[in-house]
Structure 1
Amino acid sequence: MIKGLLFDKDGTLFDFQQSWGGWAYDLITTLVADDGASFDRLTDVLGYDAENRVFFPHSLVIAGTARDQAEALAPHLPGRDLDALEVWLAQAARNAAMVPAVPLRPLLGDFLQAGLALGVATNDAEAAARRQLELAEITDLFAYIAGYDSGHGAKPHPGMCLGFARALDLDPAACVMVGDSLHDLDAGRAAGMRVVGVLTGVAGMDDLAPHADVVLRDIGQLPGWLASLG
Structure 2
Amino acid sequence: MRVDGILFDKDGTLFDFDATWTAWAGALIDRLSGGDMTRADRIASVMGFDLVSRRFHPTSPAIAGTPDELAARLAPILDASEQQVVAMLNAEAMSVPLAEAVPLAPLLDGLIGRGLVLGVATNDAEAPARAHLDTVGVTDRFAFISGCDSGHGAKPAPGQCLAFARATGLQPARVAMVGDSRHDLIAGRAAGMRTVAVLTGPASADTLGPLADVVLPDIGHLPDWLVL
In the superposition, the TM-score normalised over structure 1's length comes to: 0.96
Structure 2 match to 1:45 = 46
Structure 1 match to 2:89 = 89
Q: Is the 8 A contact 1:178 1:184 kept in 2?
A: yes
Identity over aligned residues, as a percent? Answer: 54
Q: In the TM superposition, what whole-angstrom CA distance separates every residue of 1:191-228 from its partner, at most 9, and x where no partner exists?
A: 01000000000000100001100110000111111110
State which drifts further: 197-206 or 31-40. Answer: 31-40
Q: In the TM superposition, what whole-angstrom CA distance separates every residue of 1:65-88 from its partner, at most 9, and x where no partner exists?
A: 11011011112122x111111111
Deviation at 1:52, TM superposition (A): 2.8
Q: In the TM superposition, what whole-angstrom CA distance separates every residue of 1:145-181 from its partner, at most 9, and x where no partner exists?
A: 0000000000000000000000000000010000000
Deviation at 1:113, TM superposition (A): 0.5
Structure 1 match to 2:146 = 146
Q: In the TM superposition, what whole-angstrom CA distance separates every residue of 1:77-104 from its partner, at most 9, and x where no partner exists?
A: 22x1111111111111111011001111
CA–CA distance in 1 between the matches of 2:211 and 2:159? Answer: 19
Helix, strand or coil for the counterpart of 1:87?
A: helix
Structure 1 match to 2:3 = 2
Structure 2 match to 1:62 = 63
Does the C-alpha gap of structure 1 residues 34 and 165 become closer, same or farther in structure 2, counting only changes over 3 Å?
A: farther
Aligned AA for 2:143?
Answer: A
Aligned AA for 1:207?
Answer: T
- Structure 1: 5+ residue stretches without partners: none
Deviation at 1:53, TM superposition (A): 2.1
In the superposition, the TM-score normalised over structure 2's length comes to: 0.97
RMSD of the TM alignment (CA)? 1.3
CA–CA distance in 1 between the matches of 2:15 and 2:158? Answer: 22
- Structure 2: 5+ residue stretches without partners: none
CA–CA distance in 2 between the matches of 1:37 and 1:122? Answer: 32
State which drifts further: 49-58 or 188-197. Answer: 49-58
Instruction: State how many pairs are aligned.
Output: 227
Matches for 1:26-175 after TM superposition, within 5 Å: 26-33=27-34, 38-78=39-79, 80-175=80-175
